[in-house]
Amino acid sequence: MISDFIKKRLKAFKYAFEGISELWRKEPNTRVHMFFTVAVLIMGFLLKVSAAEFALLVLTIGVVWGMETINSSVERVVDLVTLDKKPLAKAAKDLAAGAVLITAIASVVIGLIIFLPKLIQLFVLNFS
């Protein structure tokens, strides 16, 4: 009984990792997200952000990646239902893409709030 539960959970993880693989292989925007993910994490280490700031950055990164994944899912479901140009299909895809854009903009604002004061202080100290 317990082993069936564990097998089902492991299968669920397998499917989730297959979804991540699908996202990476078929969605060009994942390269952009990965570039900024790595850049933000490196900046966080170099600028010695606090644990709370780092946690917020990681959460923000996760939300953007999650929204990109949901957006890709919506696109595939809409394409499964119809490949014809229909206003509702377009609206569904546009709304999902808009959700990614909203979270990406919010992540930039959060990054600026965290990094800008540290960068200003770094330049003021080094160039004063």
Catalytic residues: 68
| Residue 72 token pair | 């890709």
Give 41: exposed, middle or buried? Use CB within 10 Å, 0-12, 13-18, 19+: middle
Angle at the Cα of 79 from the Cα atoms of 13 and 62, rounded to 5 degrees: 40
| Residue 73 token pair | 């899912």
